[in-house]
Structure 1
Amino acid sequence: MKESVTQTPQTIKVIIADDNSFVREGMRIILSTYDEFDVLATVNDGQKAVEYCKKFSVDIALLDVRMPNMNGVEATKLICEQTNTKPLILTTFDDDEYILDAIRNGAKGYFLKNTDPERIREAIKAVYNGNTIMQDVIMEKIKLNLTNDKEPESKIDKTLFTDREMEIMACIAKGFSNKEIAKQLFISEGTIANYITSILDKTGLQHRTQIAIYYLTGKIY
């Protein structure tokens, strides 16, 4: 009789970069309570985060925005360019001026430091699995900033997209999930995914958060 082998789920290797020791250690304690995470290190600036990710195999880098030597936005760019690590930004509302730059530099997620631990857990897992996480409150902040921006914004070239693709981009910009878009437009989630792939191919963007920003600004970030 053949014995069944139980496979141990792969742990997600994480580092935490924050110059506030209370936040840094608090986040380490929280993540260490979950079996699926392995907190490899905590560092207090962006440069150390980049160096660690270059030296070791890290799945997710949780990066504060404001840090000495190198901030989280700059660290995000270097980590994306030089490693396979996926950066996930930790932020406060005082940092929202950096949101667009972080997205442009390749951040895969953006959430507030006071987020419920379970939501942080799910965000890290989602980013690890190839998704991009943008909290509703952050998305609303982006929209507000863009609305208040007095500089003229370029328009989307609608000739590049079908009417259906424009509808889907509008829904993404509203923060709808694929399931919600499918319900709104009466088409399957698989069809939604195909349209999103087409939009990404046409624009050269990498994920749905960038699609939302593109739709709202007419600019490629």
Structure 2
Amino acid sequence: MTVTVLIADDHEAIRDGLTMILNNADGVRVVGEAADGATAVRQARALRPDVTLMDVRMPGVDGITATRQVLAEGLSEVLVLTTFDLDEYVDGALRAGAAGFLLKSVEASRLIEAVKQVAAGEGVLAPQITRRVITAFAAGSREPAPAPHGLEDLTEREREVLACLGEGLTNTQIGTRLYIGETTVKTHVSRVLAKLDLRSRTHAAILARENGLTRENPASAVLRKPP
């Protein structure tokens, strides 16, 4: 199966470089480009790519707003790729529903791997910011929200999977941890997201971390749903 990609970045040279990298990778094909957020949304509607590589700072409609629109319409998964690892950008991208956040300094092989991971329904965060992001969300002073509907419907195994998501584990790592197949992991992840009405596994990870859901305590009582 070929993963189709839309590249949204206001710098033509960067778009050309990303296109070259991805089109030379096995199982990946760039199907479109956009120089601003509004065009990215229109292209996503027309092309329905598996993954949209989204820059943050673009003229007109910015990448965060475009990400929110693309995901609200169910047009594509979004992987944010930017030069800036500012907290406001990371926070904005993840709360908009992006499946991942990488810096443009990422190696070509890692970028290709990340695109495939996002297309497969996994989340991706740059190693430089993973711990900072988790710490920031866990230490946030936001008021608790009502427990999400469907929490009581999670099975014990689904709670264990949710706890693993909170640790940032991939599907393969979750399978190894829980002694189950990767296909089974994907099924559990999909059910967790559906039952808790969450947009991405990254949101599930935030929810788990904010509420102390861990491998040792997968039955944590009341979860607060991230906005």
TM-score calculated relative to the size of structure 2: 0.74
Q: Does 1:204 pair with 2:197?
A: yes
Structure 2: state its 5+ residue gaps.
211-223
Q: Which of 108, 111, 114 is the matching residue for 1:117? A: 108
RMSD after superposition: 3.1
Deviations 1:30-84 (A, max 9, x none): 2232353333333221111112222334332211011110111111122223463
Q: Is the 8 A contact 2:101 2:126 kept in 1?
A: no
1:173-184 matches, cutoff 5 A? 173-184=166-177
How far apart, CA to CA, are the structure 2 residues paired with 1:191 and 1:125? 19
SS at match of 1:115: coil
Q: Does 1:68 pair with 2:59?
A: yes
Larger radius of gyration: 1
Deviations 1:102-131 (A, max 9, x none): 334332332221111111112222333x31
SS at match of 2:130: helix
SS at match of 2:85: helix
How far apart, CA to CA, are the structure 1 residues paired with 2:161 and 2:176? 12
Deviation of 1:195 (Å): 4.5
How far apart, CA to CA, are the structure 2 residues paired with 1:212 and 1:55? 31
How far apart, CA to CA, are the structure 1 residues paired with 2:39 and 2:158? 41
Task: Name the counterpart of 2:216.
Answer: none
How far apart, CA to CA, are the structure 2 residues paired with 1:183 and 1:12? 26
Q: Which of 121, 128, 134 is the matching residue for 1:131? A: 121
SS at match of 2:106: coil
Task: Give identity over the alignment, percent.
Answer: 32
The alignment covers a number of residue pairs equal to: 210
Structure 1: state its 5+ residue gaps.
1-9
How far apart, CA to CA, are the structure 2 residues paired with 1:16 and 1:125? 14
Give the residue type in structure 1 aligned to 2:169.
F
Q: Is the 8 A contact 2:2 2:28 kept in 1?
A: yes
TM-score calculated relative to the size of structure 1: 0.76
How far apart, CA to CA, are the structure 1 residues paired with 2:51 and 2:171? 24
Q: Does 1:50 pair with 2:34?
A: no
Deviation of 1:152 (Å): 4.6
Distance 1:168 1:54, change over 3 A: closer
